[in-house]
Structure 1
Amino acid sequence: MPPSLLLALRSMAHNNAWANHRLLTACAGLTQAAFEAPRTGFFPSIQATLNHILIVDHFYVDALEGGTLGPAAWAERIPCPGVAELHAAQAAVDRRLIAWCGAMDEATPGRVITIHRTGRIQRERADRLLLHLFQHQIHHRGQAHAMLSATSVAPPQLDEFYAEAEAPLRAAEFAELGWTEATIWE
């Protein structure tokens, strides 16, 4: 496995955490009623959409770590009713994903991961699982982002992770998350 693929997957894990942080930080400006309010989207509210992201992260990160959580991840559809607790829970699972990706070696992306599903076991290569997970999170963050645009809170920029113009703001946010540019790229 080329080192460039490992770096790409690791940077995607950091980008995922950064986008979650930005979006949840913006959502902290909502009232609880606005967070829960019915909205147009695949899930009926910002709260439900962002909790779905958390649930799916728990499901797949657990599988990557060798766990057997499986469908129990969906036991509670809104495990974190408020933004503050959701932000903390999402940050914790994001750190687990970053750590897992950071520990990868050249053989890891091809390693088969066991995913416990209802009534069956799925086996998937780690790189394919990660790409699916990142795409899933981007997809639903986009929906929450669109919902947020219909509130009094301005939706944050989520696609400037690599832009040089965003470097000062990004550095401050990375410091909040406990990283630097060097953490990601070296």
Structure 2
Amino acid sequence: MASKEYALTMARYNLWQNENILTAASTLSEAERQKDRGAFFGSIERTLSHLFWGDQVWLARFADTPAPDCGIADSTGLIADWDDYCAARAKFDRRILQWAHEVAPDWFAGDLKWYSGASGKELTRPRSTLVIQMFNHQTHHRGQVHAMLTAAGAKPGATDVPFMPKDYQGL
């Protein structure tokens, strides 16, 4: 189950991997990032937009941060300007890391009740399971983006947790 240490490790990994993916994606033209590549959300940008939306939704539930102004149906259209998106993503990744540092270890033992717009009903689940969901959702969609970047000729760096650079491990 998820714990404070798990959240810290995964928040550090999230920061590292988003920097990795965005660096590789920035080598592509806007047209290449927006090209439909047959993935679930179509393009690199649409997938990254949905991922950012999901992170904001989960952190709003965990830490009462602002939630996105749109629902899941519009989650793929949040990137109006690539540089602005990259800056907002980097800032939010630091906010996820801050939450992981600040969250009390016993917080993971409780349940979270929320209204799920995707399912149209109120749900209650263990917080530890939902933290795993947030980080798993990131990894899942970054994997899709990694495949699209590779197909487009970009070269993302390493992705395996044991190869996370030491400067990220100490954050």
- Give the alignment's TM-score, normalised by structure 2: 0.85
Indicate the residue corresponding to 2:124 in structure 1. Answer: 123
Aligned counterparts of 1:70 and 1:24: Cα–Cα separation in 2: 21
TM-score by length of 1: 0.79
Describe how 1:20-59 pairs up with structure 2 within 5 A: 20-59=18-57
Q: Does 1:83 align with 2:71?
A: no
String of CA shifts for 1:65-108, please: whole Å, max 9, x gaps: 13684883444531113432222222222222211111122311
**Which moves more between the two structures, 73-82 or 52-61?**
73-82
Tell me the distance in 2 between the aligned counterparts of 1:115 and 1:22.
32
* Partner Cα distance (1:115, 1:70) in 2: 15
State yes or no: 1:101 paired with 2:100.
yes
Taking a change above 3 Å as real, the CA distance of residues 44 and 98 of structure 1, as seen in their structure-2 partners, is same
* Matches for 1:1-186 after TM superposition, within 5 Å: 5-66=3-64, 69=67, 72-74=70-72, 75=74, 77-118=76-117, 119-159=120-160, 161-163=161-163, 170=165, 174=167, 181-183=169-171
Larger RCO (CA within 8 A; separation ≥ 6): 2
Equivalent residues of 2:14, 2:138 under 8 A apart: yes
The amino acid across from 2:78 in the alignment is P
The alpha-carbon deviation at position 61 of structure 1 amounts to 0.7
Question: Are 2:53 and 2:68, in contact at CA under 8 Å, matched by a contact in 1?
Answer: no
Matched residues in 1 for 2:110 and 2:58: separation? 15
Change (3 A) 1:59 1:138: same
In structure 2, list runs of 5 or more residues that go unmatched: none
Report the Cα distance in structure 2 between the residues aligned to 1:99 and 1:18, rounded to whole angstroms.
15
Superimposed CA distance per residue, residues 94-148 of structure 1 (whole angstroms, 9 cap, x where no aligned partner): 2222111111223111132233323432222221111011111111100010000
In the alignment, the residues of structure 1 paired with residue 59 and residue 81 of structure 2 have an alpha-carbon distance, to the nearest angstrom, of 22
Please tell me the root mean square deviation across aligned C-alpha atoms, in Å: 2.5
Shift of 1:18: 1.1
Task: Provide the C-alpha distance between the structure 2 equivalents of 1:88 and 1:115, rounded to a whole number of angstroms.
Answer: 29
Q: List runs of 5+ in structure 1 lacking aligned partners.
A: 175-179
Q: Deviation of residue 50 (structure 1)?
A: 0.7
Contact 2:23 2:156 in 1 (8 A): no
Contact kept, 8 Å, 1:37 with 1:45, in 2: the verdict is yes
Deviation (angstroms), 1:58: 0.9
| CA 156–96 in structure 1, closer or farther in 2 if over 3 Å, else same | same
